[in-house]
Structure 1
């Protein structure tokens, strides 16, 4: 049974001397373990030691919460409500293209490829491809994966990312928009619209952190703010973008509490109204 939806990768009930964003013990969902065993061909008894070793290397580069808590192991695209009904079937035609925006290890591409998608139809981009080599090492597919990885600043109109303008059918923007302030999110949304094919059913999907009270929230490092949405503000932003570019979008959002999203022991008082948001933004015109 696939338990991605209810089993966090990190058991936050245990406290690590490295801080609240490092889980001493990791657990893998059935679907994640399947990728490592069948796609990466790692023997079952070697999977967890392998994952711990790669996490140590990644943590030494960037001690991000998603690394310490094992969130990079979730392969969230596979649990999106549209995955089995639309995303995967569209990609299996071999005629659709997919972009993982802010890819980190590009674990979602591995989920797609493990499910039969042609890796040449998958692209991934991040500001710096710090985790590219670690991704190959994690999934043991350096010689077989044919996806294109692009190092690019999403705000740079002259970056290599814009070579994909008008060529992408599905953009996966998980854990990306919520890193930025409102106006920067609108800039990103405009760029995403440019990357998408200008036709009906071009799609933006993903997950992000939000809050019941949409607004500006301080960065964890104390440097600046980021805008966390609720369902209403997320729809409002895309309505504004649609009006600017003359395109109609259908926006759907499913929310759950921060406790459900990250694990109850990780819920801090300031996160009491926090949300996990799964979204889809579909071009209708």
Structure 2
């Protein structure tokens, strides 16, 4: 199993030279070295069991439908897959069992997206799909599986999703792995102009990159992704996400990221109101709106943002050894006019 230091060392090597995006990973390494100092890359089964017991009844019901398991059998299965994923990378999302908790269903745009699911060409691409709970929940709610694809940096997390949900090979959703900032996954220079694209329906399961999707996605979803990078990297991520969007009215990119009350800082507070732990370079609503308008064209899109209450404990008692902290989230939506 990778130590936390080795995991981030490999992350640093993998992202070397890409827009200075590793500055945040270095910050994370410095902070996590304290919060994870006693874990040594090994999960506490009792701790994980307690966290599982806190998963909402709605999310458990979704897991039961997707896996065909229930009760203790489901719990044991989930915790075994958690160990598999933690060996790939000791992310807080793994330890906190956030791969079980789909957030797209709670986004204000979700019902609108489902209402357009009958359109034969309404492609949905999820960036940073992790183990794929979001795409599977969307399919369960009626979105055509043939029109959904997910992508993640690590194929190992996608494979862990196959283990978790037990998809039959022929019935698996479409996924492709790779570095979203790498031209091997998404080459904006080599892609054909949108005007030259044919109406031929893509077989998403045959894709080995996202390049054929440039200008062809009606919906793009990216949650807990953009805020991973420094501000320069965030703007580049927005530019690349925007490139996937179809040039038609109603095409929408939406997601969820940490919400900076003061531009340039994330809203992570301890009970006394002091900022602690990670200093994620979160965009303010104004900065986020400006970045999307720069990518898609001022006056051509609408931007909406809803801030969550301050009781969403993403980095709190869920992480052993961490301080008790709170974080707010920005649920944002960008739609072509």
Q: Normalising by the residue count of structure 2, what TM-score does the alignment of the two structures yield?
A: 0.69
Shift of 1:63: 0.6
Q: Does 1:165 find its partner at 2:214? A: yes
Q: Does 1:278 find its partner at 2:331? A: yes
Q: Does 1:253 find its partner at 2:302? A: no
Q: How far apart, in 1, do the equivalents of 2:288 and 2:324 lie?
A: 21
Alignment partner of 2:122 out of 81, 96, 109: 96
Shift of 1:117: 2.2
Alignment partner of 2:39 out of 13, 18, 30: 18
Shift of 1:269: 7.4
1:199-278 paired onto structure 2 within 5 Å: 199-215=248-264, 226-243=280-297, 248-262=300-314, 265=317, 274-278=327-331
1:182-193 paired onto structure 2 within 5 Å: 182-193=231-242
1:125 to 1:58, Cα distance in 2 relative to 1, 3 A: same
Provide the secondary structure at the position in 2 that maps to 1:170: strand
Alignment partner of 2:86 out of 59, 68, 73: 59
**For each residue in 1:176-215, what CA deviation from the matched residue of structure 2 results, as whole angstroms up to 9, or x when unmatched?**
0000111221112121221111111111111111221120
1:72 to 1:97, Cα distance in 2 relative to 1, 3 A: same
Alignment partner of 2:68 out of 41, 53, 58: 41
Matched length: 259
Q: How far apart, in 2, do the equivalents of 1:57 and 1:75 lie?
A: 20
Q: How far apart, in 2, do the equivalents of 1:188 and 1:263 lie?
A: 24
Query: Which one has a larger percent strand, Structure 1 or Structure 2?
Result: 1
Q: How far apart, in 1, do the equivalents of 2:168 and 2:334 lie?
A: 32
1:95 to 1:34, Cα distance in 2 relative to 1, 3 A: farther
Q: How far apart, in 1, do the equivalents of 2:98 and 2:142 lie?
A: 23
Q: How far apart, in 1, do the equivalents of 2:254 and 2:234 lie?
A: 15
Provide the secondary structure at the position in 2 that maps to 1:163: helix
Q: Gaps spanning 5+ residues in structure 1: where?
A: 1-14, 218-223
Q: Is the 8 A contact 1:209 1:228 kept in 2?
A: yes
Match in the other structure for 1:177: 226
Provide the secondary structure at the position in 1 that maps to 2:289: helix
Q: Gaps spanning 5+ residues in structure 2: where?
A: 1-35, 186-208, 267-277
Q: Is the 8 A contact 2:316 2:323 kept in 1?
A: no
Q: Is the 8 A contact 2:242 2:296 kept in 1?
A: no
Q: How far apart, in 2, do the equivalents of 1:67 and 1:169 lie?
A: 30
Match in the other structure for 2:12: none
Shift of 1:61: 1.7
1:32 to 1:92, Cα distance in 2 relative to 1, 3 A: farther
Match in the other structure for 1:31: 58
Match in the other structure for 1:108: 134
Match in the other structure for 2:97: 70
Q: Is the 8 A contact 1:181 1:216 kept in 2?
A: no
Shift of 1:161: 1.6
Could you list the structure 1 runs, at least 4 aligned residues long, displaced by more than 4 angstroms after superposition: 263-272
Q: Is the 8 A contact 1:33 1:47 kept in 2?
A: no
Q: How far apart, in 1, do the equivalents of 2:158 and 2:296 lie?
A: 34
Match in the other structure for 2:28: none
1:166 to 1:241, Cα distance in 2 relative to 1, 3 A: closer
Match in the other structure for 2:166: 140
1:48 to 1:203, Cα distance in 2 relative to 1, 3 A: same
Shift of 1:264: 6.0
1:43 to 1:216, Cα distance in 2 relative to 1, 3 A: closer
Q: How far apart, in 2, do the equivalents of 1:112 and 1:54 lie?
A: 22
**Pairwise CA RMSD:** 2.9
Match in the other structure for 1:131: 157
